[in-house]
Structure 1
Amino acid sequence: MILSRYERMIAKRYLLPGRGEAFIFLVAGISLVAVMLGVAALIIVMSVMNGFRAELFDKIVGLNGHAVIQPVGSNLPDWRNIARIAKQTPGVTSALPLIEQPLAVTYSGRTEGILVRGMRVEDIRSNATIGSKVLMGSLNSITAGSGRVAIGSRLAEALGAQVGSQISIFNPLGQATPFGTVPRVVSYTVGAIFEVGVYDYDIKYIIMPIEDAQTLLLIGDSVGMIEVNTVDPDRVNAILKPVENQIAGRAVITTWQQMNAQLFQALAVERVAMFTVLSIIILVAVFNILSSLIMLVRAKTRDIAILRTMGASRFGLMKIFMVVGTTIGALGVVAGLALGFVFLFFRQSIVDFVQLVTGQNLWDPSIRFLTELPSKTDPVEVTTIALMALVFSFLATLYPAFKAASTDPVQVLRYE
């Protein structure tokens, strides 16, 4: 919006407090702060929720793949053939054999429920989700027949185990004898401790070579499932459709959307709800801008009348008040962007400080899934939030600007 020199001078004058106008300036300042807080809150919440979803997706898919091929029965005895079919399918990047079985582990009199995961040694070492998160020990020490396993950090903490500790895994489905089934208890050495960052994984998982898992579970050369990764997780159903037709009757395919449907749907609903609720803060700030401009127009009625008699046009007066209100909104948006980015940069430090001061655990990994507060800022969302606040601020200026332009100088100055 182009202003003439005198219009810029008057707009600048109205943005600064004049004699007897401290209250109007206070309301305008409150409006600016409200816009700042609304924009910052939206950016912070949306970035945290984006980060939460991205972190969960990366960790879940990093361990479970984009889909798993599971047997119709208990195990996959012909898993090599099925893995070959999956690998040859266009769009599939890997098809890895996998064993997962819920069991129990004991150490120093402590017992915890676990999920034993058997993987090929090369798959264990090449898995980025596990390999980059080793806290103690080394994955290189875990080889077939070595009796060494990798366990989650939370599980190690619950058991009190360290690298080198001897843990015992309890399999209730042991060998059959004339006196019944004898449970199978096998001892393993902790070779590595990892922390994926998802509480449910870090408290449950024990990873071992697939050969050791087959021996522990007495399943021979069978596997429990085949983990499949594709070039595009969002198109996993279409990519694996040919595989589904070829293995029909022998196995079924479960995608990451099906395995975690409720979680990601809940996140999507909460994301929309939070955006809607927090947008109300910006609307409240916009109404503050509206009220401050109305009071400014009332206070400047005589000045407006004089300007009209000196030749100021109605549209010129409208531009002045529109610029004043939009400037307040724009300054609030800039301040909100700065505040939001600063908060996101120091988010974990702020959470830790608040926990220290209040003595409350604000981020319990057992409830929040993740061990740290995540964040992922989407430039498109940030731009949308800023534009929304600017548009609302501009719309709030229309009525006061119209009232100012409609001022009749004859009626105002009649008794002057």
Structure 2
Amino acid sequence: MISKVWFLPFLLGVDCYTITQEILLQKTLLNGYNRRIRPGNDRSKPVNVVASFNLVTLKEFSETDGKIAVVGAFRLRWKDERLAWDPASYGYDLYSTKVFFEDIWVPKFVNLNPYDQLKRVGLDEMDCVLQDNGMVDFRPPDLYESTCDADVTYYPFDKQNCSLLYYIPGYSTTDIKILAESSTFNMELYKENGLWKVIETSFTIETIYKNVEVITLTIFMTRRTTYYIAGLLLPIVLMNFIQLFVFLLPVESGERLGFSITVLLAVAVFLTIIQDKLPEASEPNISLLTYKLFVDMIIGCGMILAVVIGMRFYHRSDDIQVPWILRGLTRCYLCCTPKQSIRPDEVVQIESENLDMGSDKMSITWIDVGKAFDIVCLSLFFLSLVLNNIVYFITIFV
């Protein structure tokens, strides 16, 4: 069946253009063509450039460097009457051809907020598609990089928006009028980024100083938080509450102080990791997670201080009288705690002559004071950690 189709154009009398005719067309169009002069027979009217943007992927967004890089392609269309022709003169079916954009006039867009260096849109020896009515279709793909200051206040639950700005130097609205084909990006070819999720895009055109039009490409994105929850926040919360076990560790083990310092150093390591990922600028705000970790370190230092004080209670001689404040604290502890759980290895001998006030003072030992102090510290620091985490998450999500 297919072998019988190839000769149908000859039977129907359809003409086909040849390469010679296309070479002649391009030679005729470009002969005497001045690419430095913008199109438009009526010089009082601007040339209309219809613009859109196709996003392929979000290659990189660096909070530390303040950089965004996307892979995509502009689509620019305009009419140049000097490039129109009659298809009947070139085989009747030569309705379009391709030329290098360096051979004709093209709107040379330049990035207004480049990350590295200024460069125009479009690579060397890139093709434009010409239609017989003079319409030019130019689609330059490239890696587009711009500066973008990150707002890390709610890191790692932050949302960012970055804008890439482009304009045509040397032309005003009286020369070129830029028209947006769509208010958003074309996302048909977009591939998802593993770290950021693009939630919205915006393609706008605004006029700035001295009637210069600027294309603003804005990307609204939110961070994917699964990795940060599992690899950052949960370990931090767990380490915070692991520190509390220091008050349950027997004093006889001699490991209380070492345990507290080790966990505190682990929290400090996480703080260092986070600071390496965040920009050094303090505007618009420092990450709330940094404040949370700072409070965690203060609480951890307070635990170390409490451990040192508690160890002094445990190792103080019973010949030294217990102050009345500590006796009152310890009596509250003894009233709420069964004696078997307080001193299981000792048998308390209470004689009838020691039931007066003086003997009551001597029944409270420094070991009892140390245990009561541990319970108070355990409760106090537990409430402090819970309050710190609640305040952080409420501030993030509310």
Category of TM-score, reference length = shorter chain: under 0.3
Give me the TM-score of the superposition, normalised by structure 1. 0.26
Q: Which has the larger radius of gyration?
A: 2
Greater relative contact order (CA < 8 Å, ≥ 6 in sequence): 1
Give me the TM-score of the superposition, normalised by structure 2. 0.27
